[in-house]
Each structure stands twice: as C-alpha cells, then as structure tokens.
Amino acid sequence: MSDGSTPEHRSPREHPGQPAGQRDGGAPRLTGRQRLAKAVWPPRVTRAQLIVALLLFVLGLGLAIQVRSTSENSALRGARQEDLVRILDELDDRTKRLEDEKRRLSGQRTELENSSDQAEEARKQTREKAAQLGVLAGTVGAEGPGIRMTINDRAGTTDSDTLLDAVQELRAAGAEAMQVNGVRVVASSYFTDSGGGVNVDGHRIDAPYRFDVIGKPADLEPALNIPGGVVQTLKNKQATVQVTRSGKITVDALRQAKRPDYARSSSQ
C-alpha cells in the first residue's frame, strides 16, 4: 500500500549495510594496487628468461675479472720500455738458471751411471750435495759474487714487511745466501716489528739495515730497481737505498742445525 510518498529507489545490486566495492554474492572488488601485486607475484619465470639471466651473470663475471686483471697489470702498463726490457731479461735469466740446473743434475746422473767405481762417485756427490745444502740451510759459511744493499732510515718508517719483501725479491732473482746485519737469512726466517726496529728470527736489528747477498749481481740489482719494487717503495717512505756490486761477498753468519721433530727421510 502507498502512503502517498515517493518510494525510495535502490539498485538491485546494492543493499543497505553492504560495503562499497562488493558486488554480487559478496565477492570483494580488487583495487588497482592489489591487481598489480597479484600480476607480478608469485613471479612467473620462463625457461628463456632463466637462460638470459644466466648469460648476463656469466657476462658480468667475465667483465669483473677483466677489470681486476687490468688494474693489477696497470703498474707494468705504465712502466718505461727499458724497465720492461729489464724485467724480460730477468725472466730469461731465471729460465736459463733452471735449465743449467737441469743439465747439471743430468750430468751427475750420467757420471754416476758410467763411473767404474759407483760407490766412490756416490760419496763424492753426497759430499758436494751436503755442502750445497749447508749453504742453503745456513749451517756453513759461503762466499762469492753478489751485492751489498744498505738501507738508511732516519724516520724509522722501514718495517718488517718491507725488509721481507726485499728478501723475497732477492730470492726470486737467484740469491743463494744472504745475511742482514749479521743474521743469516734462510727459508724458515721470519721478520717481525719491534718498537722502532725489526726482529729477524728473534734477533733485533736496527737501521741502517745491511744486506750481504751472494748471487749473480747482474740479476740481483735490477730485481730491486723494477717499477714498484723494493727501492721505489723505500724511497716513497723517505728512506735511502744504496746497492753496490761486488766480486766477493762473504756470508759468515751461521745457524744451528735443527733436528726435525716429526719429519723423517722417506728413503730410510
């Protein structure tokens, strides 16, 4: 029945108390942000996309390695031509030394095989080998051509790492025996800092640091003067370096032979 008033008009799809954004059956209507999130997550990755991603990763890794290799070789790239020639000559000299050592050992083997008195020849070679090993181990003195290097450091900036770098450069250039301020340096030697000075195998040494090194002078001196090498590093630390060649260097500091606690000869 009508009371004379105009009836209220309602949409057949809306009801009082129903939240806006819902339609038939109470199903919620998604907002634009919700539809975007639903479209991108969870991600739908195809096989082709995986292959492309893998190729891009490999390409990036290769570029990173190339950049690192380029930065590491920047010192040589900026070196002068005469410095590069000197480095190549040093590498050639190392190769020649290894080839000479190989020929020497082959000659010893031939002499031992062809000797009429193999026992006497074996004893002779054993004595020679013992003398060589004594020089390397620092248990016997040695003399021969080489260099003397003196490092003066009034500012006290020369540390154990710098001296160890010098020892390694000299060994790489063919140093056969050396001592620093009267302390014999061998393969097991260690360098540590000690209150303005340096300890070598527990023995304190102070500036000036004097290196007596036996080896081929023409190989030892250039090895110290390569770009970015020991001499340049010391000069950057305001230290002065003097290197002189000599036809006779004496290395007379000795070390006590140490019996190994665990290692035994495998030939016994």
What DSSP element (H or E) covers 235? Answer: helix 230-236
Query: For 216-256, how does the pLDDT look when each residue is reduced to its tens digit (9 = 90+)?
Result: 999 999 999 888 889 999 999 999 999 999 999 999 999 88
Predicted local distance difference test score (pLDDT) of residue 68: 65
- Give residue 13's pLDDT band: very low, low, confident or very high (50, 70, 90): very low
Query: For 58-102, how does the pLDDT look when each residue is reduced to its tens digit (9 = 90+)?
Result: 777 777 776 666 555 555 666 677 777 777 777 788 788 888 888
Predicted local distance difference test score (pLDDT) of residue 11: 47
Domain 81-255 annotated CATH 3.90.730.10 = no
Query: For 17-39, how does the pLDDT look when each residue is reduced to its tens digit (9 = 90+)?
Result: 555 544 555 556 777 777 766 66
Least confident of 61-70, 143-152, 199-208: 61-70
> What is the residue-averaged pLDDT of the chain?
79
Token reading at 94: 């190392």
Query: How far, CA to CA in Å, does 84 sit from each of 52, 76, 141, 216?
Result: 42, 7, 36, 20
User: Domain residue spans in the chain?
Assistant: 81-255
Q: Is-contact 151 157, C-beta < 8 A?
A: no
Residue 188 has pLDDT above 60, yes or no: yes
Mean pLDDT in residue range 147-175: 93
Closest C-alpha to 147, from 38, 250, 268: 250
Distance CA 187, CA 197 (A): 21
Give ∠ CA 85-146-80 in degrees, rounded to 5: 20
Mean pLDDT in residue range 52-63: 76
Residue 2 has pLDDT above 50, yes or no: no
Predicted local distance difference test score (pLDDT) of residue 148: 97
Q: Which residues pair with 180 in a beta bridge?
A: 183, 211
Query: How far, CA to CA in Å, does 66 sit from each of 60, 61, 213, 228?
Result: 10, 9, 39, 22
Residue 12 has pLDDT above 70, yes or no: no
User: What is the SS3 assignment for 93-118?
Assistant: HHHHHHHHHHHHHHHHHHHHHHCCCH
